[in-house]
Structure 1
């Protein structure tokens, strides 16, 4: 198979219309020593679900990012590995950067949403660089007749071992966080209760050694919120809840991430639905336990992603992953003033709709050289590749390319700096150069632009 052309780090940012490279904030997982940065790039692991199941896959998916906020799915957003044992699928994959710089990938042994399937095992892979995953196995954590959900791991320096923390039902009758210790992710210590606040909890995420304190965020299942606890020792039973809960509807799967260029911490969460939406909060004082929402313009999750984890990469590892797996051959366009909505076609009409939706491929476009002018751009539909987005009586619709002069001109646009934000993009009509693509009542059309509202309606982010 031909290796896809490797986009450079600057090329990927340009395609995604992200913040200029000089302005990006390097982030690092707080799970490293004192939350220190170990690289200028990041990898996210996740599985996928979509509203009607068209984008659902319970294999291991990977995406990369230079700023930890805008993500480039690898392998066309297809799995890079799929379990062959147990349930034959996974949920909740977690990437751990180990002490030696290599990686371990852990995941729940569960395919789909059959919550009655109780596996005592988790899936495990080893990897030097995430270009190949080796040593696949299932690791048994306990002998109870219950599950082992959402495993995460960290290095416990005092013990000289890795802690594997996961959710399981103990004698208490509700979900608690359990822990096993290991040096090799092949044999583990006996399980013990790690955190039991007296109510149902799952999904632990960690930031270690921050100002001499260790932090953990988890899902309080009784209230569907993300909550923080802290400990001075990392010892089982030593964690004390302290934070103000955060949520956007029912929220789970917390991910703690720190900026290495500032004192900003980010907390990601995944809405608890079969087709979740990621939201993010930020704080400059992790000890305060209070968070403010991050503007959705600043981050974009991989399409259909669920319950992710984030690990730091070196710049070389980032480049090598893109060279090996390839960036998507398609893009999505996010609305500037409705950042929860994406450009799509529905019944062949152009519009912006809230993510997620099916068919999710309605929102995927190949940005090809302009049909009437190669210096411009035309929007070729991914799921209807013979059709292009064009204007007709100023309304945008998806029509077959009939090769006429009128069609190719109607389907050609020119990229310009975003009219509302120059780091985003606007699209000027080729044959009506005073008009730009904008949304009005969520329908897409080309109109003259004069007001601030017009400029916001006509501004988009090219991403994935």
Structure 2
């Protein structure tokens, strides 16, 4: 009898453990902007990474407060090892800094900061689409974005889209930052990069912004280090349409790269298991109407449930 009771207790523990694992399953979130972005942060969710539904009745969760133009374009959210959600965004078409705020629950945010990442560059014209990544080895964050500085890269300075390159700073605390440096320069106009860990290396999805002859497509680069050693870009992974604002998820052993088909006023997606062979699945993804450039990321079921409860 005692052995039977012990067996039943063990079985109950195993069942409870299995339930706990189920409760911590992933839910995918997508932060984005609409229109001019003056109303701020919007968010959608998905259980399968294909069909996305707006949260908060597709109303803003956070309104922009920093920068001259007070915009909140191209939001990027990353959960750090400190348990906080860190967000950066574009504050203006022409300012030399970016916006930053953090949150424990994606509803209540810290005081917004203006980070003057390119203020030291007299000729800098912008700071577009900043994104975040975390370097676990160095225990620091990297913030990267696109800037054009007339005359800095003469070979592409007069090609219609000037000479955008990807720049970056590092920080451990979002208080002090390194001086901006070039992150990606392969001799062409590049914007809208996003970086994801991939085994023992990193993968960068980027937009070839070349205007003459027109490219306006997405490509892939890889590196063993976050801030250096990036490869030349791959062949385009998107089609004849113009694409921008890539963001990626690793789902069921496959990459899904979402992007803004900005000329067609809709979102698209491509998928791959090896970063070389890509299939267009734009007809399989559903997004809220009017969604613009944003970032996809995963949270636990518990984090999602808390978010939903706070929005009620």
Aligned partner (choices 312, 316, 321) of residue 307 of structure 2: 321
Which residue does 1:312 correspond to in 2? 298
- In the TM superposition, what are the counterparts of 1:69-108 in structure 2 within 5 Å? 69-86=50-67, 87-108=69-90
CA–CA separation in structure 2 for the residues paired with 1:213 and 1:243: 20
Inter-partner Cα distance in structure 1 for 2:41 and 2:247: 17
| Separation of aligned partners in 2, 1:270 and 1:315 | 27
Q: Which residue of the other structure, out of 181, 184, 207, is the alignment partner of 2:196?
A: 207
Q: CA deviation at 1:160?
A: 2.1
Unaligned runs of 5+ in 2: 1-21, 158-162
* Contact kept in structure 1, 2:33 and 2:293, CA below 8 Å: yes
Q: CA deviation at 1:243?
A: 4.0
Q: Which residue of 1 aligns with 2:135?
A: 156
User: How far has the Cα of 1:237 moved from its partner?
Assistant: 4.9
Match of 1:63 among 36, 44, 47: 44
Partner of 1:134: helix, strand, or coil? Answer: coil
In the alignment, structure 1 residue 293 sits paired with structure 2 residue 280: yes
Structure having the higher strand fraction is 1
Q: 2: distance between equivalents of 1:185 and 1:256?
A: 24
User: Matches of 1:92 and 1:68 in 2, distance apart?
Assistant: 19
Q: CA-to-partner distance for each residue in 1:116-159, whole Å, 9 max, x for gaps?
A: x4211111111001021112111111222321110111111233
The alpha-carbon deviation at position 66 of structure 1 amounts to 1.7
Secondary structure (helix, strand or coil) at the match of 1:166 reads strand
Secondary structure of 2:41 counterpart: strand
Give the deviation of 1:91 after TM superposition. 0.7
- Does the aligned pair in 2 maintain the 1:125–1:136 contact within 8 Å? yes
| Equivalent residues of 2:268, 2:282 under 8 A apart | no
Equivalent residue, structure 1, for 2:11: none
Distance 1:310 1:119 in 2: 25
CA-CA distance at 1:290 after TM superposition: 2.4
The corresponding residue for 1:240 is: 232
2:29–2:45 contact (8 Å) kept in structure 1: yes
Quick one: structure 1 residues 148 and 237, their matched pair in 2 at CA, closer, same or farther if it must change by over 3 Å?
farther
After TM superposition, what 4+ stretches of structure 1 lie above 3 angstroms from structure 2?
A: none
Deviates further, 230-239 or 198-207: 230-239
- Kindly report which structure 2 residues correspond to 1:266-281, keeping only aligned pairs within 5 A, or say none: 266-273=256-263, 276-281=265-270
Structure 1 residue 315: deviation in Å?
0.3
Q: Give deviations 1:367-414, integer Å, cap 9, x for gaps.
A: xxxxxxxxxxxxxxxxxxxxxxxxxxxxxxxxxxxxxxxxxxxxxxxx
Cα pair 2:168 2:183 within 8 Å, conserved: yes
Tell whether the 8 Å contact from 1:194 to 1:237 is kept in structure 2 after alignment: no
Q: Structure 1 length as normaliser, TM-score?
A: 0.56
Contact 2:38/2:64, CA 8 A, preserved across alignment: no
CA distance in 2, matches of 1:249, 1:316: 39
Q: Give the counterpart of 1:128 among 85, 96, 104.
A: 104
Query: Is the 1:243–1:290 contact (alpha carbons within 8 Å) kept by the matching residues of 2?
Result: no
- CA shift in 2, pair 1:242/1:295, >3 Å: closer
Q: Kindly tell me: are residues 283 and 89 of structure 1, through their superposed partners in 2, closer, same or farther at Cα, counting changes over 3 Å?
A: same
Q: Is the 8 A contact 1:248 1:271 kept in 2?
A: no
Mapped to 1, the partners of 2:234 and 2:34 lie a distance apart of 32
Contact (CA 8 Å) 1:230, 1:242: kept in 2 or not?
no
Q: Which residue of 2 aligns with 1:435?
A: none
